Structure 1
Amino acid sequence: MISYRLLSPRWRKVWADLAGNKLRTLLVVLSIAVGVFAVGMVASSYLMFQRDMANSWSSASPASVSLYADPFDEELIDSIRSLRGVKEADGRFNADLRVFTAGGEWRQMWLTAIPDYIKQEVSVVRPQTGAWPPGDGDVLLERSSLAELGVTPGERILVETAAGNKRSLKVSGIVYDAGQIPSLFSGRSYGYINMDTLEKLDEDRQLNQVNLVVEPWVLQGKATAPIEAVGRRAFTKLEQGDTTVSGFQVNKPGEHLMQGTVNALLLLLAVLGVLSLFMSIFLLINTISAILTQQVRQVGIMKALGARRDQILRMYLTLVAVYGLLALAVAAPLGALAASAVTGFIAGVFNFDSGGVALPLKVLLLEAAVAVLVPLAAAFWPIWQGSGITVREAINDYGISSVAAQGRVDRWLDAALARMQALPRPVVLSLRNTFRRKGRLALTLLTLTTAGIVFMSVFSVRASLYATLEQALQYYRYDLMVVFTESYRTNRIEQAVMQVPGVKTAEVWELTSGRILRDARKEAENEASTEVTVYGPPRGAETIQPTMVTGRWLVPGDESALVVNTEVIKDNPQLAVGAPAILKVGDHKLRFTVVGITQGILSGPYVYAPGEWLTKALQASDRAHSVRITAWSGDRQEQKLLGRALDQHSKKNSLKVKRVDVTWENKQRTEGRFNILIAFLLVMAVLLAVVGALGLTGTMSINVLERTREIGVMRAIGASSREIGQVFVVEALCIGLISWLAGAVLAVPVAALLDYQVGLLFLHNPMEFYFSFAGVGIWLGVSVTLSLLASLLPAWNATRMSVREVLNYE
């Protein structure tokens, strides 16, 4: 109390403004805190992502290059280690087989055998819980695969080998492999065994993968070309060792496999932070204007007592700075907690270790600047204008202004309202008051409209993503696909499949893999593209409906014709309609002419060649590796049961099944990945909606303050509390509906732009634009609800005012 008395009068007033109107203080602090929170969350998330992903990636000593080949002996690894530019190299064996999940389904699994778990040097697999290293007949599961398999350590899993034999393995522990794409995205599970267990899985004790790390002097920033040159020498060494290389992968230095996707999410978060910051500035301008509007007479009295404009300016700027510091105290820890939650969630999805809560000094300084400097800059002009009022203008202020029509909009509105005789007078007054303060209305509409645009655009992105998925599924017009471990006679496959009840049609396709060569030279094999999937559709295939970008699809009579998708073109830009193409499949070099380019949608690099010609060229005439099936029933559960029946019946007919794909299950898994993105976008929309609701609440509170004397006049002529409250509720609804209408119009181009960017960031292709009218309807409901909620407290405050209180209002 003594310290309070020692303050000069103007600083006492600052304290009184802070403590005397707690609701207003809370509103201003929240207005600033929203922007500080968003900026802090985005900045902290970015730094935490970079820190945690880099730590997880570097701790695994990730491979610079990975090569996949036919089985070879361990001696080849020593020769690769001796190559110039190679710092270290390790070998391992990957067995691609199937595992029986707890859900009663067969799924793909990659079992990796590592010769020495203790002396790992490259792409290190780290133990989490349980036994280490795995014993004979045991398996360690990668942690991202646990949910997919539905098992826990100590239980056993049943796997089916490439030879068709079933083996039981004990899950003895959990490991973490930072070098694997998480099971959610790859669609396969990962397990780790020792070399002795390979024999139990019908595999030879050999290697089929090389991981190598280049010497530091090879690295040139983020460039991959020098690393690829070293990898090509290892490629040549493997080929000289009488093995065929089927895959070649170069990793960007210091960059996590999922870095691109996470960076795209961070970009969306950054947009959220910027939007929230700008909207909080608008809220602050409105709120400071309200304070000055309420205190016009106080400013006049201070000036009458000799206060200068610069003193009043400093006083109110100090008030704003204190508001900012209070907002910083609230928003900084909340931003750090939110960033930790976001990072933890993404770490779980993308399978890297989260380092927990952190509030870096640079983020705290950024938040302090946003909390103090930005509000000061935003509030300067309203305070400058308010502090410039003269004593006479201040004393003559009665809180009733802008009633008479002053412009064309006002005159038009007055004329329109005059013709609406059937409307109740409180409603007419609400409609007129909505446009009374056009500058304040514009700022309020800006916040609400921005929130609505983002919300409706998110639903449009969601609609476009799902439509893109549907389009991709229409590309393949079948319900199930059975892939075999080896090729069989087409007649044998078709007869076996058609014997299963529920099968409507069966179309046998050749399915293999290959690499596109630059030319026919032997040296060109070392420069070949990464692995592409080769499909051989039968003549007149009906289970595919390709979207052609240029050229044509395969027609009966085609022989050496090739259709490639746009994913292949990215790695092989030399391919064009009419251009020659050389495809290496196994030991065969096949020469083609490109006749068409088809759109790749949610797919890898695919090429299509006439099935009959392709199998002859591969010396496997009238044989195939897969069959595409349409079912009589469209019921999902029945199709799932049909998949199991096909699996069992194929085995009874000695057809070794590699996998059974059910189309709707693939769709469901893809939708799950999409939902991660949609969840991020919805967080953005919800946060902006909260900001918009705060802005509307502030606007209505300002309106109540400004119209205090008007409320008194209404009271004096007999207006009830219900009628007074109705004035402000209807006004808030008008603002909400105007913002909804403006947002619905502006959401169309914004949603189209967001669709395009999301397509490039996450699908690497622009999406077809689909505007969501459902999103427009949902936002209408949200906008009306927010308007009602935002008006309740101001309306309630207005109804509590008595005539005596109003007459005493200053």
Structure 2
Amino acid sequence: MSTLLRVKLRRDLRASWSRFVLMVVAIAVSLTVFGGMLCAWAAIGRETGGAYLSTEPASATIVLDRGVTPERMASVLAAARTRPGVREATGRTQFEGAVEVGGTVLDIPLQVFVAAADDPMRMVRFDLGQRGRWPPSGGEILLGTDSLRLLGVAVGDSITVHGPDGPVRLRVAGTVYDPGLAPSPQEQRGRGYVSATAVALPFDQVKVQVADPEGRARDRVVAVATEVGDWLRREQGLRVAEIQVPEPYAHPHQWQADVLLLSLMAGGAAALLLSTILVATMLNTLFTRQIPQLGIMKAIGARTGTVGRHYLVMISLVAAAATLIASAPAVWIGRTLLGTLLTTLGVRPVSLAAPWWAYVVILVAGLGLPPLMALPPLVRASRTTVRAAIDHHGAASEPGGLAVRLGRVPRLDRGLLMALRNTVRRPARFWLSTGLLAAAGAVFVAGMSLEAGVDAITREEAARRTWDVDVQLAAPAAREAAVEAARRVPGVTRAEGFGVMPVGVAGPRGFPVTWTYPDQGHGRITLIALPRGVTTFPKLLEGRALHPGESGAIVLSRTVRKKTVPALVPGDDVRLFIEGRVTSWRVAGIVEERGGDNVYVTAEGLAAAQGRPQQVDRLRVYTGGHDERTRDAVAAAVRTALADAGITVRSAASVSRAEAVGEGHMGPLLLVLLGIAVPLGVLGVIGLASTMSANVLDRTREFGIMHAIGARPRTVRRIVAAEGLLLALAGCVAAVVPAVALTWLLGAGLGNLFMNVPVPFRISVPGAVIWVVLALLGAALATDAAATRASRLTVREALAHL
């Protein structure tokens, strides 16, 4: 670049420094968001995948109908390792029981994983934390690191675990870090690890690893596990109750994090694209103002390539400055977001740094996209001929057709009329400004509306939970005895008993195969036996509901059908594996549920299938008062009453605890949209400021004439300010249809991902009002500089304007 062009470049940057600052800010804000999301997304798969694989997870868990001794399991495993496709095998068992601390039985259950004392931990292993060692002694237990605070205990304390064989007192000998499980606080469940010497239970789980690369395909894992199940039945005399095959080598919540980050990154990419379009538009306005200068440069010998390089350097400087400003915040946001999400997943990061290619993408996007988008106006300006420059008389200010029609509106304030006409004078500029504001408003309102939909779900679930206390029994008990013991408690108005147990669902042939993870929560299919007179039931989609007291009929949730036998329709037969026993049922209907994979039968039907009197292991207790104090008091009294009746209670707690579990899963939804709305809102304000600045420059002569004929500065200022407010209102109006559509799309998409059903469609009126107020405030701020300049414009400056 020649010396003269360098001088011109410096003068151009100095003369339009505010415009260039807006360009840099627009690109930097959107690049920061995009880069942060990209860094987090690029690293989260590595961290979650690495942490999950470090546990050497089982490809499949074959659940036996009844356990065997550790010695028998050892011989079975030795033979299982020789089966085709099996790389490794181990035997385990687990149970969930109440935990007692300091004489108080906690409402938080404890899930206990049991392994042989001589287990080499070649698979399904965990890392030992504070003072942890394996195997712990017979009177010791290891707790998950995040379970300590949840249970309110510390290393060295003693707890009493109520297991299948009664209470066992154990000392907390250390901690365990197990990234293969969802965090305890999120699941509201403690995690404990003991050896078979502490809890004398038979092993009922055969965990196998399928050899790579077949082990990466779930269909192949199912085939190998099914063959092993047939072999166990045929040659070992063991009956299989269920085969659990989760998504191979994937953390139970990893897909949620991926969806969140991909959504945020898509929003950041859209914001980056819009910012570069905005910058290209602002540059086009600048190039138009400099057409006379271009004519002079061409007249004295400047070539098209020389002029093009000059402007290319200009936009490259803007892109470089924005990239430099955005790089550090993008990395920081990426690391912070990644750390937060990994904490949510219960994963300790090895490194928060993104892979090298993520930084390259940020640099390429920041340095390359703005010049690329600005290329059309740049080429057009550099090709301006001397004749075209001579014929140029400044920006046209002739109002368009809409502006002319607005001028015919009777009894309209002349200042407001001028503001209306000037707002739509430049259609392309008008639509760019309103489009940016509309995009930000649509995303913001959709985010608030999605939150309203989630709140509606919470209220709906709370309305359906008309009972006050949930009681889980440690073992099934006679229905009449348990219900009557609860009913006699003072303050209890009603009690209902349910049978709740895990089951396997299969078609006419084969083993039941589920997506259940090792925590036995994610992907587990649960059977619920409904008593007579139950008042709550999910929404029916196909077929019919259960008739009171009928046997042999079953209702499945839509997700259970999808994951087990997709072709099932009402009237078909299905097999349930209940406690290792195969039973046949006729499908009565299909229901829709928000979360949970459940099947429903009547209490009489379950008793008939099991060939024994009705039993319950879950109670719903209704109280006269619905406040938390009454609920807690009744829960404690019900626990005592059931214990006096010889029934061991695993947990008794207010239904508000179920809401805490739901919040742990639903919390990230709002983050998706609000994280996108912020940069789009900033871009909208910048676009509005750019539009008003360009409009004032276009009408410099007009403002000069107004001042010459006696217009006061405050009158001119009011007109320009009104233009900005009208643009903001136009953006709010333009956001209505996109906001409604986006709310519906995101409610359907995210609802199906997180809860298996769409989020109820709600439009947040408070969210819309908040956005209108924010848009008007932003318009006032964005218009202030342009309005001030217009009000202070002198007649001499107007005459000197080309």
Q: TM-score scaled by structure 1?
A: 0.89
2:697 corresponds to 1:697: no
* Contact 1:464–1:767 (CA under 8 A) maintained in structure 2: yes
- d(CA) in 2 for partners of 1:322 and 1:91? 64
C-alpha distance in structure 2 between counterparts of 1:706 and 1:101, whole Å: 77
Going from structure 1 to structure 2, the CA distance change for 1:140 and 1:587 (only over 3 Å counts) comes to closer
Determine whether 1:362 maps to 2:357. yes
**SS of structure 1 residue aligned to 2:668:** helix
Which letter maps to 2:126? V
- Residue 527 of structure 2 corresponds to which residue in structure 1? 534
Which residue identity does 1:176 align to in structure 2?
Answer: Y
The superposition leaves residues 117-140 of structure 1 with CA deviations (integer Å, 9 ceiling, x where unpaired) of 883110220123333334553433
1:169 deviation in Å?
Answer: 3.1
Using the TM superposition, give the Cα deviation of residue 683 of structure 1 relative to its aligned residue in structure 2, in angstroms: 0.9
**In structure 1, distance between residues paired with 2:114 and 2:748:** 43
Distance 1:137 1:807 in 2: 95
Identity of matched residues, % = 27
**Aligned with 1:148: secondary structure?**
helix
Distance 1:716 1:645 in 2: 88
Q: Give 1:2-151 correspondences, 5 Å limit.
A: 7-19=2-14, 21-69=16-64, 70-75=66-71, 76=73, 77-99=77-99, 105-116=106-117, 119-133=120-134, 134-151=136-153
Q: Give, in angstroms, the shift of residue 243 of structure 1.
A: 5.4
* Paired residue secondary structure (1:534): strand
Kindly tell me: are residues 535 and 669 of structure 1, through their superposed partners in 2, closer, same or farther at Cα, counting changes over 3 Å?
Answer: closer
Q: 3-state DSSP class of the match of 1:415?
A: coil
For 1:595 and 1:669, the matched residues in 2 are separated by: 31
SS at match of 1:380: helix
Which of residues 446, 471, 496 in structure 2 aligns to 1:482? 471
Tell me the SS of whatever aligns to 1:130: coil
Q: 1:726 to 1:138 in 2, by over 3 A?
A: farther
Q: Which of the residues 527, 547, 550 maps onto 1:555?
A: 547
Could you tell me how far 1:354 is from its partner in structure 2? 2.5
Equivalent residue for 1:165? 167
Pair 1:104–1:735, CA change in 2 (3 A): farther
Deviations 1:509-568 (A, max 9, x none): 23333323433x7xx3476897632222223322x2331111111113522222222122
Moved more, 570-579 or 632-641: 632-641
Distance 1:705 1:355 in 2: 55
The alpha carbon displacement at 1:90 in A equals: 2.3
Asked if 1:496 is matched to 2:498, the reply is no
Cα pair distance change 1:301/1:632, threshold 3 Å: farther
Q: CA deviation at 1:192?
A: 1.9
Of 607, 611, 619 in structure 1, the residue corresponding to residue 611 of structure 2 is 619
Q: 1:157 to 1:434 in 2, by over 3 A?
A: farther
Matches within 5 A, 1:713-724: 713-717=705-709, 719-724=711-716
Distance of 1:609 and 1:225 partners within structure 2: 30
1:510·1:615 contact (CA, 8 Å) conserved in 2? no
Equivalent residues of 2:181, 2:251 under 8 A apart: no
Alignment of 1:280-359 (within 5 A): 280-358=275-353
Q: Distance in 2 between matches of 1:765 and 1:288?
A: 47
Going from structure 1 to structure 2, the CA distance change for 1:481 and 1:691 (only over 3 Å counts) comes to: same
Q: Is the 8 A contact 1:485 1:658 kept in 2?
A: yes
Q: 1:411 aligns with which of 385, 390, 404?
A: 404
**More displaced stretch, 137-146 vs 58-67:** 137-146
Question: How many Å separate the matches in 2 of 1:158 and 1:716?
Answer: 91
User: How many Å separate the matches in 1 of 2:142 and 2:789?
Assistant: 65
For residue 514 of structure 1, the aligned residue among 503, 508, 529 is 503
Is the partner of 1:590 in helix, strand or coil?
strand
The Cα of 1:712 is off from its aligned counterpart by 4.2
In structure 2, relative to structure 1, the CA distance for the partners of 1:344 and 1:593 (3 Å cut) is same
User: Match for residue 231 of structure 1?
Assistant: 225
Q: Per-residue deviation at 1:660?
A: 3.0
Q: What is the identity, as a one-letter code, of the residue corresponding to 1:594?
A: V
Instruction: Tell me the CA shift for residue 587 of structure 1.
Output: 4.9
Paired with 1:104 and 1:223, the residues of 2 have a C-alpha distance of: 43
1:662 to 654, 663, 668: 654
**Runs of 5+ unmatched residues, structure 1:** 1-5, 199-203
The alpha carbon displacement at 1:35 in A equals 3.7
Cα gap change, 1:786 to 1:245, in 2 (>3 Å): farther
Structure-1 residue corresponding to 2:203: 207
Gaps of 5+ in 2: 517-523
Q: How far apart are 1:646 and its partner, in Å?
A: 2.2
Shift of 1:783: 1.6
Superimposed CA distance per residue, residues 52-94 of structure 1 (whole angstroms, 9 cap, x where no aligned partner) = 1222122222221123444322332333233332222223332
Superposed CA offset, 1:563-621 (max 9, x none): 222122111224321112232322543332222222222222x2222212421432321
Would the aligned equivalents of 2:493 and 2:623 in 1 still touch at CA under 8 Å?
A: yes
Residue 82 to residue 696, structure 1, CA distance change in 2 (3 Å): same
Q: Which amino acid aligns with 2:624?
A: W
Q: Which residue number in structure 2 is paired with residue 458 of structure 1?
A: 447
Paired letter, 2:575:
I
Q: Identify the residue that residue 447 of structure 1 maps to in structure 2.
A: 436
Q: Give the Cα–Cα distance (whole angstroms) in 2 for the partners of residues 117 and 26 of structure 1.
A: 67
How far does residue 291 in structure 1 lie from its aligned partner after superposition?
1.9
Indicate if the aligned counterparts of 1:466 and 1:671 stay in contact, CA closer than 8 A. no
Residue type of the partner of 2:80? I
One-letter identity of the residue aligned with 1:728: V
Q: Distance in 2 between matches of 1:799 and 1:136?
A: 86
- The CA distance in 1 between the partners of 2:674 and 2:99, in whole Å, is 36
- 1:42, 1:270 within 8 Å by CA — same for their partners in 2? yes
Does the CA-based 8 Å contact 2:187-2:661 persist in structure 1? no
Residue equivalent to 2:520: none
Q: Contact 1:514/1:584 (CA < 8 Å) preserved in 2?
A: yes
8 A Cα contact 1:244 1:586, kept in partner = no
Asked if 1:187 corresponds to 2:156, the answer is no
- Correspondence for 1:430 among 419, 434, 438: 419
Deviation at 1:261, TM superposition (A): 1.7
Q: TM-score, normalised by structure 2?
A: 0.90
Distance 2:118 2:10 in 1: 67
- 1:655 aligned counterpart, secondary structure: coil
User: Residues 246 and 514 of structure 2 are in contact (CA less than 8 Å); yes or no, is this contact kept in structure 1?
Assistant: no
In the alignment, the residues of structure 2 paired with residue 351 and residue 528 of structure 1 have an alpha-carbon distance, to the nearest angstrom, of 24
- Is the CA contact 1:90–1:212 (under 8 Å) kept in the aligned structure 2? yes
- What is the match of residue 755 of structure 1? 747
Contact 1:399–1:707, Cα closer than 8 Å, also in 2: no
- Alpha-carbon distance change, 788 to 173 in structure 1, aligned in 2, over 3 angstroms: farther
Q: Could you report, residue by residue, the CA deviation over 1:405-449 in whole angstroms, capped at 9, with x for unpaired residues? A: 342x12112222x5313x6x3x44333221122111111111111
Counterparts of 2:153 and 2:778, CA distance in 1 = 45
- Whether the 8 Å CA contact 2:446–2:673 is kept in 1: the answer is no
1:630 aligns with 2:617: no
Following the alignment from structure 2 to structure 1, what is the Cα–Cα distance between the partners of residues 635 and 237?
A: 39
Task: Name the SS for the 1:583 alignment partner.
Answer: strand
Change (3 A) 1:640 1:246: farther
Report the 3-state secondary structure (helix = DSSP H, G, I; strand = E; otherwise coil) of the residue aligned with 1:450: helix
After TM superposition, give the deviation of residue 735 of structure 1 in Å. 1.0
Native 8 Å contact 1:63 1:251 kept in 2: no
Q: What per-residue deviation string (whole Å, max 9, x for no partner) do you get for residues 432-489 of structure 1?
A: 2211221111111111111111111222222333334444555555333322122323
Which stretch of structure 1 is more off in the superposition, 594-603 or 380-389?
Answer: 380-389
Output the amino acid matched with 2:778: L
How far apart, CA to CA, are the structure 2 residues paired with 1:397 and 1:741?
36
2:504 and 2:513 in contact (8 A); partners too: no
Query: Which range moved further: 788-797 or 456-465?
Result: 788-797
Give the corresponding residue for 1:201.
none
